[in-house]
Each structure stands twice: as structure tokens, then as C-alpha cells.
Amino acid sequence: MRTPDYKIQSPAVAERFAAIKRRPVVLEIDRLGREFAGATGPVTALRELSFAVHRREFVCVIGPSGCGKSTLIRMLAGLDTPTSGRLLLDGKPVTAPGPDRGIVFQGYTLFPWLSVLRNVMFGLEMQGRTGTAAEADARQWLDLVGLAKFADAYPHQLSGGMKQRVAIARALAPNPRVLLMDEPFGALDAQTRAQMQAHLLEIWRNVDVTILFITHDLDEAVLLADRILVLKANPGELQEVIEVSVPRPRCIEQLTTPEFQATRRRLDELIHPKLHTPSERLPIVRLTQAGDDVE
Ligand SMILES: Nc1ncnc2c1ncn2[C@@H]1O[C@H](COP(=O)(O)OP(=O)(O)OP(=O)(O)O)[C@@H](O)[C@H]1O
Ligand SMILES: [Mg+2]
């Protein structure tokens, strides 16, 4: 069977994207640039990046290592400052970290000395919310990520997937407008990762939050996103925006559908372009002289 062109959309899919674009813009990235002073001269991590994310949209960002994905997340989080351009959240410039943005990183960032419940309460306490109301709130978030029974456990007693579920609960507890996720499932094994993707989609369906999700994994991007921003490196620039026509609700079984495969293949072409000239081929170095050929 021929795989359809990922760009050909049914009227229903076209209407889905038109509806997303009618929603208010939550996050506006406007001609954003970031330069660093590198060891051998200036490094342009990001150049002229412009993009708008609409309310409750799920946007994935994908691109080769060093194309500025983490730099983008750090600036959105208010942990780094652009050298040019603007970042607006609900129309207001982002200048510092704030409770309107929740963040989940790849590395496990829970406080090891706090119980699971206390970890989730942390953000609420930073907002001055303490006592039984804050605790009830935190327990509700733990329930949502399926960890109500582990409220009194400590991070070292949890698996990697469970830790990231706590991290998601902690990030969502202060009711952020945007959830920023930088390769949150990158350190998990394939099976746990698939479970976490399903969990996240379920959470997103139940919570009024807009998600910007960085990943290296092409299948993950297609499975999760409404739209995928494809960046290229040196300098980090927007290469293409892909609208994912795979119907929602999404599930792992869709990986083999023609729509999924078509989008996946387009991403593959963009991220892993074919090498054409011989000079681009890697040199072949033989590391064995033993004559024990394996193929
Ligand atoms: N604090 C810094 N000082 C100097 N250069 C930096 C700094 N932070 C990032 N860079 C450079 O900016 C570029 C983008 O880095 P960034 O970490 O955003 O990439 P990335 O897309 O997240 O990569 P990866 O996929 O490997 O996580 C890289 O060339 C990196 O070396
Ligand atoms: Mg990164």
C-alpha cells in the first residue's frame, strides 16, 4: 500500500487545525535569538525563531543535538535571557521564572530529602499556599498521575517512570499556563517510555494546559503533538512546521497507520538527510586484524 503524503489532509483534519488556530495565543516566540561566547568564537544557538502556540495545543520540538532546544526551554522558563527577539506569555514578556510555567527536565529533579507528597506541595508552598488545602490539592495531582498510594514514599524508593510522574504532578500543581518539558522521558526504557506517553496524553486531556515538549524521538513527536517544530543546527533555525494529522485520541497502536508513517517519514527526511557525495561518507577504519570476519 502506498503511504499518503503527510500534507494531504481530510476536511475534518483541516478543520481541527483551523480550530486550534482560532484559540488564543498563549506563547509567542518572536524573532528569538541567542548567542553564546564559545571557545572558538560566538555560537548562535538560536536565530530568528518565530512561532505561536495556542491554548491547549501540544507542540513538540525536534532537531539535531545542539540546535538550541534546551536553550529555548531555558529562556521560556526564565532561566536564560535572549540576545534578540521577544518571548511573550499571554502577551506579557517573560523575564524571570514564574508559577505560570511548569518545567520537567530529563534528569530526575525531585528533592531526595522530601517525600513524594512534599515534593508536589513544594511549588504550592512557594506560592504561599500551605496547610490542609495545599495538601489536598497535592494529593489530587498525585491521584491524577496514578501515585496516590506513594504519597509518603521518598524519591529513591521510586522507579524512573514514577519519579517523572511525580515531577509532572509537581510541575502541574501550581496550575501553570504552560508545561515545558525537555526530553522528560529520554532516560526511560522503551516500555516505560510508551506508558509515560500514554499517561501524559491522558493528563493533558484532563488539564487545561498548553504543552511544549522537546524530544529526540520521532515516533514520540508524532504520537504526542498537534504540531511539530523541526529545527536545524548551526545556527538553530526553524526548518519546518508539521501538522500531525493522526486522529485523536492517540494510542500506541496508531504507529502502524498510514498517516502516522507518512508524518514519521517526513520527519526522518528532515532530521536524517541522505548523504550524497563520497566526501560526506565517514572513513572506514578497521579495528581488527584478526581475520575473524563476522559477516
Ligand atoms: N551556557 C552556554 N555557554 C556556551 N554555549 C552554550 C551554552 N548553552 C548552550 N550552548 C551552545 O548552544 C548550542 C545549543 O545548545 P542546546 O543545549 O540548546 O542544544 P540542544 O538542542 O538542547 O541539544 P541536545 O539535543 O544535545 O540536548 C550548542 O552549540 C551549545 O554548545
Ligand atoms: Mg538539550
Ligand 1, atom 31: closest residue by C-alpha: 66
Q: Name the 3-class secondary structure at 42.
A: strand
DSSP 138: H
Check pocket membership of 66 for ligand 1, CB cut-off 6 A. Answer: yes
What is the domain count for the chain?
2
Q: Name the 3-class secondary structure at 154.
A: coil
Give the chain's mean pLDDT.
91
The strand pair at 210-214 and 58-62 is best described as parallel
- pLDDT of 243 reads 95
Interval between CA 291 and ligand 2 midpoint (Å): 41
Residue at 6 is within a domain: no
List pLDDT tens digits, range 199-208: 999 999 999 9
- pLDDT of 65 reads 92
Same domain, 37 and 90: yes
Ligand 1, atom 7: closest residue by C-alpha: 36
Check pocket membership of 65 for ligand 1, CB cut-off 6 A. Answer: yes
Check pocket membership of 164 for ligand 1, CB cut-off 6 A. Answer: no
Check pocket membership of 71 for ligand 1, CB cut-off 6 A. Answer: yes
Same domain, 186 and 75: yes
- CATH assignment at residue 96: 3.40.50.300
Same domain, 94 and 216: yes
Check pocket membership of 69 for ligand 1, CB cut-off 6 A. Answer: yes
Q: What angle do CA 215, 219, 223 make, to 5 degrees?
A: 90
Across the chain, which distance is largest between two alpha carbons, in Å?
Answer: 72
- pLDDT of 126 reads 87
- For the CA of 71, the nearest atom of ligand 1: 18
- pLDDT of 108 reads 77
State the 10-residue block means of pLDDT for the chain, 295 residues long: 64 91 97 94 95 98 95 96 97 95 91 97 90 94 95 97 96 96 95 94 95 96 97 94 94 94 94 69 65 66
Boundary (domain end) residue, out of 137, 155, 175? 175
Q: What is the DSSP string of 146-201?
A: T-GGGTT--GGGS-HHHHHHHHHHHHHTT--SEEEEESTTTTS-HHHHHHHHHHHH
**Grid cell locating 16:** 481541527
- pLDDT of 288 reads 64
The boundaries of the domain holding residue 170 are 110-175
Interval between CA 34 and ligand 1 midpoint (Å): 10
Cell 524573532, residue?
A: 31
Residue 16 to residue 173: CA distance in whole angstroms: 29
Residue 184 to residue 215: CA distance in whole angstroms: 8
List pLDDT tens digits, range 55-78: 999 999 999 999 999 999 999 999
Interval between CA 70 and ligand 1 midpoint (Å): 7
Closest CA to 237 of 26, 25, 32: 32
Closest CA to 210 of 227, 185, 193: 227
DSSP 236: T
DSSP 274: P
- Check: CB of residue 197 under 8 Å from CB of residue 224: yes
Interval between CA 38 and ligand 1 midpoint (Å): 10
Interval between CA 214 and ligand 2 midpoint (Å): 8
Closest CA to 259 of 72, 33, 1, 3: 3
